[in-house]
Structure 1
Amino acid sequence: MKLYYFPPSPNTRKAHAVAIHLELPFDLRLIDLEKGEQRTPEFLKLNPTGRTPVLQDEDFILWESTAIMQYLASQVPNSLWPEDIKSRADITHWQSWELTHWMPACQPLQYENFVKQLLQLGDADPQVVQRTTEIFHKEATMLNTYLAEREFLVNNTLTLADFSVASALTYAVPGRFPLDNYPHIRTWYARIEQLPAWQKTAPPRG
């Protein structure tokens, strides 16, 4: 299998981390978004949206990180993606929440407080930060309460759900996410950060 990836991307990270955690054999193919390699004809044949990650398994091409994670975790028996249909539905529910609600509550803070400065695109827009911060608090309050008596999101064991939801916090520190009042999220994320696969997929510093 080939994984076309861009290391700084949180969506790339969650798929890459799953592959490492499960010790699956795969070849990494770097797609440098900063150089525009996602817009080359060769890559657009793999993913017409021009985004990473993309998985190629012989003649089977798959894009969208959640689908890739589920496909990877279906390769071997494991607890990240258990056979039980209720567990799989619960995992998918958290992955859907991450895409629909959690990432939109995190990504604008990441962009305004970190990416814009990194790329010298100007100062953060205070209106965007304020609006997104309100959304963040709403979603974080729910997540923090849910994690109060749990070590992980589903069945109290590490699953794909944890990789998905944690990915949005990849830039929590430079993005200045307001996590001070959410101790259970911080404790849970610290647990994820101890995973070798998570450490190996940490975005490069520079």
Structure 2
Amino acid sequence: MKLYYFPPSPQTRKAHAVAIHLELPLELQLIDLQKGEQHTPEYLKLNPTGRTPVLQDGDFILWESTAIMQYLASQVSNSLWPEDMKSRANIVRWQSWELAHWNRGCQPLQYENFIKQLSQLGDPDPQAVQRATEIFHKEATVLNTYLADRKFLVNDTLTLADFSVASSLTYAVPGRFPLDDYPHIRRWYAQIEELPAWQKTAPKG
């Protein structure tokens, strides 16, 4: 299998980390988003959205990180993607929440407080930061409460749900995410940061 990836991307990170955790061999092909390589005709044939990651398994092409995570975890028997339907539904629930709700607060804070400065795109937009902060607090309250008496998100063991939700916190420090009032999130994420797969996929620099 071959993974077209951009290491700094949280979406790339969660798929790549799953492969490393499960010790699945992958050929890695860098797609440098900063150089616009995602817009080449060759890459757009693989993924018409021009985003990373993309997984190629023979003639099968798969894009969207959540789908890639599930496909990778289906290659071998493991606890990240257990066989029973209720566990899988619960995992998909959290993966869906991450994409539809959690990321709506995390991504703008990451962009305004970190990416803009990194890319010399100007100062943060105060209104955008305020809107994102309000969303972040609303969703962080849900997650923090849920994790109050749980070690992980599903079945009290590490699953794809944890990789998905944790990926949005990749740039929590430079993105100035307001995590001080959410001790259960911080405790849970500290566990994720200890995983060798998470450390190996941490952005460089």
With structure 2 as the length reference, what TM-score do the two structures score?
1.00
Which letter does structure 1 place at the counterpart of 2:137?
Answer: H
What's 2:67 paired with?
67
**Which residue matches 1:94?**
94
Q: Distance in 2 between matches of 1:48 and 1:116?
A: 26
CA distance in 2: counterparts of 1:25 and 1:197, whole angstroms: 13
| Residues 146-180 of structure 1: per-residue CA shift (max 9 Å, x gap) | 00000100000000000000000000000000000
In the other structure, the counterpart of 1:194 is 194
Which residue is 2:152 aligned to?
152
RMSD of aligned residue pairs (Cα, Å): 0.4
What amino acid sits opposite 1:164 in the alignment? S
Deviations 1:45-73 (A, max 9, x none): 10011000000000000000000000000
Residues 181-203 of structure 1: CA deviation (Å, up to 9, x unaligned): 00000000000000000000001
Equivalent position SS for 1:28: strand
Amino acid at match of 1:161: A
Q: What is the identity, as a one-letter code, of the residue corresponding to 2:178?
A: P
Once the two structures are TM-superposed, the CA of residue 23 in structure 1 deviates from its matched residue by 0.2
Give, in whole Å, the separation in 2 of the partners of 1:131 and 1:52. Answer: 27
| Structure 1: distance between partners of 2:44 and 2:134 | 37
Secondary structure at 1:171's aligned position in 2?
coil
Measure the CA separation in 2 of the matches of 1:46 and 1:111: 26
Aligned to 2:25: 25
Q: Any idea what SS the aligned residue of 1:157 has?
A: coil
Letter in 2 for 1:2: K
Paired residues in the alignment total 205
Q: Which residue of 2 aligns with 1:125?
A: 125
- Sequence identity (%): 84
- Which residue number corresponds to residue 204 of structure 2? 204
Q: After TM superposition, give the deviation of residue 5 of structure 1 in Å.
A: 0.2
SS in 2 for 1:199: helix
Mapped partners of 1:131, 1:95: distance in 2: 22
1:8 lines up with 2:8 in the alignment: yes
Mapped to 2, the partners of 1:26 and 1:122 lie a distance apart of 38
In the alignment, the residues of structure 2 paired with residue 197 and residue 35 of structure 1 have an alpha-carbon distance, to the nearest angstrom, of 27
Distance 1:7 1:26 in 2: 14
**Gaps spanning 5+ residues in structure 2: where?**
none
Give a deviation string over 1:101-147, Cα, whole Å, max 9, x none: 00111000000000000001000000010111011000000100000
Q: Residue 151 of structure 1 aligns to a residue in which SS?
A: coil
Q: Which residue of 2 aligns with 1:83?
A: 83
Secondary structure class of the residue paired with 1:77: coil
Equivalent in the alignment of 2:178? 178
Does structure 1 residue 55 correspond to structure 2 residue 52?
Answer: no
- Is the partner of 1:3 in helix, strand or coil? strand
Quote the offset at 1:44 in angstroms. Answer: 0.6
Q: Secondary structure at the match of 2:102?
A: helix
Aligned-partner SS, 2:56: strand
Task: Give 4+ residue runs of structure 1 displaced > 2 Å after superposition.
Answer: none
Give, in angstroms, the shift of residue 204 of structure 1: 1.4
Find the residue that maps to 1:61 and give its secondary structure: strand
Residues 63-86 of structure 1: CA deviation (Å, up to 9, x unaligned): 000000000000000000000000
What corresponds to 2:138 in structure 1?
138
- Which residue identity does 2:180 align to in structure 1? D
Alpha-carbon distance in structure 1 between the residues aligned to 2:129 and 2:84: 40
